[in-house]
Chain A
Amino acid sequence: QVQLVESGGGVVQPGGSLRLSCAASGFTFSSSGMHWARQAPGKGLEWVALISYDGRIKYYADSVKGRFIIFRDNSKNTLYLQMSSLRPEDTAVYYCAKDHWSYTHYGPLGYWGQGTLVTVSS
């Protein structure tokens, strides 16, 4: 079955950097568009970024554009989110998610990992 396991979360100071990873299994990762979404404590869902199945197309939410980079390694079945210039408002649980269909990246988000918590605080 589809499994998505995020890692890399933790506490970081404002202005710092962090890299999240998402290990995928149970499906053909190299055929799947992937997403990162986040949820601040007690708040709703916010989409963060997407990457096409081949890594050529990347889109970002305005709130993270220029600070976050999404990338993937299809040989390792792993998705990444490099976060820099972190702000307190970036504090959230970060989820990776698989696009429902193969070879697309427009959503819906068909499968979600359990998330990893990122806390930006001094």
Chain B
Amino acid sequence: QSVLTQPPSVSAAPGQMVTISCSGSSSNIEKHYVAWYQQLPGTAPKLLIYEDNKRPSGIPDRFSGSKSGTSATLGITGLQTGDEADYYCGTWDNSLSVVFGGGTKLTVL
């Protein structure tokens, strides 16, 4: 059981937009920055979004992040088949730990 809650899967057609939600609590998301990670099949996770809505260099602006209260959202526009991956939210928790969501599998139909 993950501390942060994500939908197990989402899907959309190429070129469309999709959002992935991440729900937490007052001890994690509400008080701390949220990050999003992309894990392509068979590879290590990669940082996609940090500090709720900032993109590391090299991450296209098709990827965006937002946060409100105890929830955060990852948005992906102009979906491509290469975006098929598992996406994880993560943040710091007041229990002195890093916490992750259970992951969301994105399928580009």
Interface residues in chain A, defined as those with a beta carbon under 8 Å from any beta carbon in chain B: 35, 37, 44-47, 50, 59, 61, 95, 100, 106-115
Contacts and interface: CB of A to CB of B under 8 A. Distances in A.
Contacts of A106: 32, 92, 98
B98 A50 contact: yes
Contact of B100 (A45, A50, A110, A115): A45
A95 B45 CA distance: 9
A35 B103 CA distance: 19
B50 interface: yes
Q: Which of A37, A44, A95, A113 has the most CB of B within 10 A?
A: A44
Q: Is chain B's binding surface mostly helix, strand, loop or mixed?
A: strand
Nearest to A35: B98
Interface in B47-81: 47, 50, 56
**Complex A-B, nearest 5 residue pairs according to Cβ-Cβ distance, in ascending order:** A108-B35, A47-B98, A44-B103, A112-B44, A106-B92
B50 A108 contact: yes
A110 B39 CA distance: 13
Contacts of A45: 37, 39, 45, 88, 90, 100, 103
Contacts, number: 62
A88 B109 CA distance: 36
Contacts of A59: 96-97
Contacts of A46: 100
A106 B91 CA distance: 8
A107 B91 contact: yes
A47 B100 contact: yes
Interface in B12-40: 32-33, 35, 37, 39
A61 B95 CA distance: 10
A107 B92 contact: yes
Nearest to B95: A62
A44 B100 contact: yes
Nearest to A99: B98
A89 B103 CA distance: 19
Contacts of B43: 114
Given A44-B88, A114-B44, A109 B97 contact: no
